[in-house]
Amino acid sequence: MNYVCLGGVTLALWSAPLAAQVAVPPELEHLHEPQLTTRPAERMLVVEAQGDPRIAGAAAFGLLFQLYYQIPATAKGPQQPAPRARWPVALSRPRSEWIGRYAMPVPETVQTLPPHTTTPGLHASLTTWEYGTIAEILHIGPYDQEAPTVERLRTFAESQGYRLATEHEEEYVRGPTAAGPGDPAQYITVLRYRVAKQQ
């Protein structure tokens, strides 16, 4: 996914003899192991786009950040939250058919979108993302290598009597920047699903 600046957390890296180690923010260290937790609903600024995220994602994130920075009440700089995306279609489908909902959390008080030019293929909105009981895990590395991490999360949820009940969600703690894709081996992503009790 080659899109614009993901903002948020500045991370330090250190070297290891055989492979680079990625410094994970302390508040996310526990997600090296899959977790079940509860999360409240959140107000979100969303830009929806269809198509390969490496192309559609760039345009969607461009509009998303344009709108986000026009909202006075949002956190900027080091306090800015990490962006997210949800994928309401099976990721096994061709990438050209993927639908991405690229998003940033905003205060509950935000009720209207800033003025902007409508871009073909992009739809901006304000909505609430429901959460409740969720399963989540940290993925370090390229986006196209997430499948084993997702399977590990699925296995864990099922062992606890739950099933993954909704679309795949990603929170981009560290990824590409405006300067380019960087090193995908150092990307940090939280993978998240709402879960439901197995019948």
What residue spans define the domains of the chain? Answer: 13-197
pLDDT tens for residues 135-146? 999 999 999 999
Helix ranges restricted to H, the chain: 53-68, 147-159
For the residues 128-140, what does the mean pLDDT come to? 97
Structure tokens at 96: 């050209």
DSSP state at residue 143: G
The fold adopted by the segment(s) 13-197 is Multidrug-efflux Transporter 1 Regulator Bmrr; Chain A (3.20.80)
For the residues 129-135, what does the mean pLDDT come to? 97
Q: Tell me: pLDDT of 199 over 90.
A: no
Structure tokens at 147: 């499948």
Residues in the chain: 199
pLDDT tens for residues 101-126? 999 999 999 999 999 988 899 999 99
Q: Tell me: pLDDT of 18 over 90.
A: no
Q: Quote the mean pLDDT of the chain.
A: 87
Most confident residue range from 2-6, 7-11, 152-156: 152-156
Number of Cβ atoms within 10 Å of the Cβ of 174: 23
d(CA 42, CA 32): 24
Q: Cα 140 to the chain's mean position, in Å?
A: 13
The model's confidence at residue 179, banded by pLDDT at 50, 70 and 90, is low
Taking Cα atoms as reference points, which of 83, 63, 58 lies closest to residue 4?
58
Would you say 45 and 67 are in contact if contact means Cβ atoms under 8 Å apart? Answer: yes
Q: What pLDDT is stored for residue 8 in this prediction?
A: 34
pTM, 2 dp:
0.86
Would you say 97 and 21 are in contact if contact means Cβ atoms under 8 Å apart? Answer: no
Residues ≥6 apart with Cβ < 8 Å to 155: none
pLDDT > 90: percent of the chain = 74
Q: What pLDDT is stored for residue 15 in this prediction?
A: 27
d(CA 60, CA 116): 13
Number of Cβ atoms within 10 Å of the Cβ of 30: 12
Report in angstroms the alpha-carbon separations of 133 from 95, 157, 192: 29, 11, 11
pLDDT tens for residues 45-80? 999 999 999 899 999 999 999 999 999 989 998 899
Number of Cβ atoms within 10 Å of the Cβ of 35: 15
Helix ranges restricted to H, 69-176: 147-159
d(CA 59, CA 88): 19
